[in-house]
Amino acid sequence: MERQVGGQRGKFEFVMGREKMTLRTGDSLVIPSNMPHSGRALTRCRILDVFTPVREDFRKGEVAYAVR
């Protein structure tokens, strides 16, 4: 499963493997399948996650941090 992330507002810090990066408004990144990663909001922010294929747990609203 691949994850594409787009920064819509604010700053969000991602750590993928040993690399740390800051996602800002207008930025995007791809997180490959099985890549260990984490993240945290540096400011009030909004990000758009796109999963391929679709994650059914998100679709069903079963993920606590998924906001509709």
pTM for the full predicted model: 0.77
The candidate with the shortest Cα–Cα distance to 49, out of 22, 68, 34, 35, is 68
CA distance 14 to 20: 6
Q: Is residue 27 part of a domain?
A: yes
**Total structural domains within the chain:** 1
Domain that holds residue 27: 2-59
pLDDT per position as a tens digit, 2-48: 899 999 999 999 999 899 999 999 999 999 988 999 999 999 999 99
Grade residue 68 by pLDDT with cuts at 50, 70 and 90. low
Q: Is residue 14 part of a domain?
A: yes
CA distance 33 to 67: 23
Kindly report whether the peptide bond that precedes residue 36 is cis, defined as omega within 30 degrees of 0. no
Bridge partners (DSSP) of residue 15 are: 20, 38
The one-letter amino acid at 42: L
pLDDT per position as a tens digit, 43-63: 999 999 898 988 888 888 888
The pLDDT of residue 30 is: 94
